Amino acid sequence: MDSTFKILGSALAGTVLTFSLACDSKKQQAGPPQMPPPVVNVAEAKASDVPMYLDEIGKATALEAVTITPRIAGQIVERKFEDGADLKKGQVLFQIDPAPSQAALAVAQAQVAQSKAAAEFAKIELDRYTAVAGTRAISKSDLDTKQNAVDVANAQVAAAQAATQTAQINLDFCTIRSPIDGRAGSRMVDVGNVVKENEAALLSVQKIDPIYADFTVNEQQLAAVRTNMADGSLKVIVSLPTDGEKPGREGTLTFLDNAVQDGTGTVKLRALVENKDLHFWPGQFVNVRLVLKTLKDAVLVPTSASQMSQKGPFVFVVKADMTAEMRPVTPGQMQGDNLVIAKGLAAGEKVITDGQMMVRPGGAVRLPGPPPGQASAGENPADPSKAAGAPAGASQGGADAQNPQPGKGGNEGGKS
């Protein structure tokens, strides 16, 4: 019995040793395990016409702004507007007590009448003396005196008329009107206050439709602005910081200052923007995009495709054999979620937009989906024709070549 067990044990040990040697032979034949190609997302580079622009921070400014001040002293007796109201040119705002001006006008008018009567009398006297001047009944000096009296009387008439005009103007100044179309601010005086001529500010009126967007560019950008202005008026896109994804309002560049400002090295510019819905308000900060020109057939890729290395920007280009090429590029301006590639990439090439961390230059990559040789849920993993990514009836020789198994695959895994 013992000899029988010894014989069986020796046979079993031999079988195990033979199986172990066979497994070691298969491992040596298969080589070390290989990392599967990394999964990446790709996008195709597109060609499109895009704007070349400068982005700046500016401020909205009223088209016209006027501070209303009294042009005659007096007491405010009436106010004919509400704070914040939309005003029309010529609309009455305040009424200053007109009584003193009316009295001054009446006095001036009376002075005119009196001066005219005196001038008329002096003229009659002169005519009488002139009629007898040839008879030597009067002396030459008497005639000159009458002539001088006429001249004085006429001067008094002119002075009285001027005083009348001044009184009339002062009376007109008692009614204060809006000099422009615009929006009223908060009144600075109330009825009953006595104001002085050209001293007290009564009200601010600003015209805000259309509206200006004032901004600056640095002197390094001035040459590009001037060059493109020579081809015509430049378009400007203006928006508020709170507008988010809303499109900006289009305007036109209307002003370029004639000098670079000392200390800042910047140049002032101004754009005119329609503001019928009063979207912009004077004094608000605004985002200004100055469009210099349009780039024809610019190459665009998603911004996530651009990467940075010690040698500069690059993208991974996926070639036809599903390997990745590390391509140095020259990036341009952002265009929404896309980036202009000024140099190094052609339209139609595919670039990696996600998964770059696991990609090595020249290495294989694959697109999202079940890896080759892995069965989908509910399929028989032993059936190679059902493997994800394999065409119907095709074998998995490519996958089995990396992980050969006995009796399966293109290398007939069990054969040495």
Which pLDDT belongs to residue 36? 86
Which pLDDT belongs to residue 127? 84
Which pLDDT belongs to residue 386? 43
Which pLDDT belongs to residue 129? 79
The HSE-up count of residue 309 (CA atoms within 13 Å, CB side) is 13
Which pLDDT belongs to residue 133? 72
Q: Which domains does the chain have, with CATH numbers?
A: 53-61+207-296 (2.40.30.170), 76-94+177-201 (no CATH), 99-173 (1.10.287)
- Report residue 183 as tokens: 């929006």
Query: Which one, of 237, 235, 236, 239, lies nearest residue 279 by Cα?
Result: 239
User: How many angstroms separate the CA atoms of 29 and 413, rounded?
Assistant: 9
Q: What is the dihedral of CA 370, 375, 378, 381, to 10 degrees?
A: -170
B/e letters for 165-186, b = 16+ CB within 10 Å, e = fewer, are eebeebbebbebbbebbbbbbe
Which pLDDT belongs to residue 373? 57
Query: Which one, of 58, 57, 52, lies nearest residue 228 by Cα?
Result: 52
The answer for residues whose C-beta is within 8 angstroms of residue 395's C-beta and 6 or more apart is 384, 385, 410
- Using an 8 Å Cβ cutoff, are 318 and 324 in contact? yes
Which pLDDT belongs to residue 374? 58
Render 56-113 in DSSP notation, one character per residue. Answer: EEEEEEEEEEEEE--SS-EEEEEE---TT-EE-TT-EEEEE--HHHHHHHHHHHHHHH
Which pLDDT belongs to residue 147? 86
User: How many angstroms separate the CA atoms of 166 and 403, rounded?
Assistant: 109
**Regions of the chain with pLDDT less than 70:** 1-32, 134, 370-416
Which pLDDT belongs to residue 252? 95
